[in-house]
Structure 1
């Protein structure tokens, strides 16, 4: 009964996790967007280092480039925080699934033990019935022998 209650609790937690699936999909989209932004920043950085014209343009207008980079950095940091939250949710889900697996394994082991016990009881019952049948046969033989005497 305790195992059943624990399994019910784990299944309820599992249901809550399923409700978080839409959030997880949103997090995955944000992560992809973050990766795209990082690639854009790397491309901008390579162009900045390789192209002297870009360097001159940035010197002439450093505040615009700096503002754009700061905005992208802020977005990247926000996406990173969201990714960390998503990772924490996944770890929580993993813990719940491990707990569920452990309980199911425990229930399976308990059921196997009960099956073994039932098999032993069946064998003992069969042995007792066989002995009873043999004794009944012997009693009848003795009775018949006594009757003849």
Structure 2
């Protein structure tokens, strides 16, 4: 089997385990947050905090999936490696913050830490492949 095929299989398994659960959880959370906001007018603080959390989470999840897409490419063309590294770091830090607040539930802690770990590993693989 070709090395690229083996790499793509491993990356796909990593994306399914590391990125898909948090993406689905985020989607369900946004539906659960913004649908009731149509019927109940939130306070300014709650609305601002919700939008801020949503923006940070979208950036983290988006950068993780972008890193995955670059890692899956036959020859990765990285245009802005600093932004990708920043996205991976923010994903890790954001996951640590959220995991700290749900530390009573060990399974949730693992779910929130996985995107940062997965995107960091995928970014390292992508940068290594881009240099070689």
TM range (shorter): 0.3 to 0.5
From the CA coordinates, give the structure whose radius of gyration is larger: 1
Give the alignment's TM-score, normalised by structure 2. 0.43
Give the alignment's TM-score, normalised by structure 1. 0.39
Higher RCO (CA 8 Å, separation ≥ 6 residues) = 1
Structure (1 or 2) with the greater helix fraction: 1
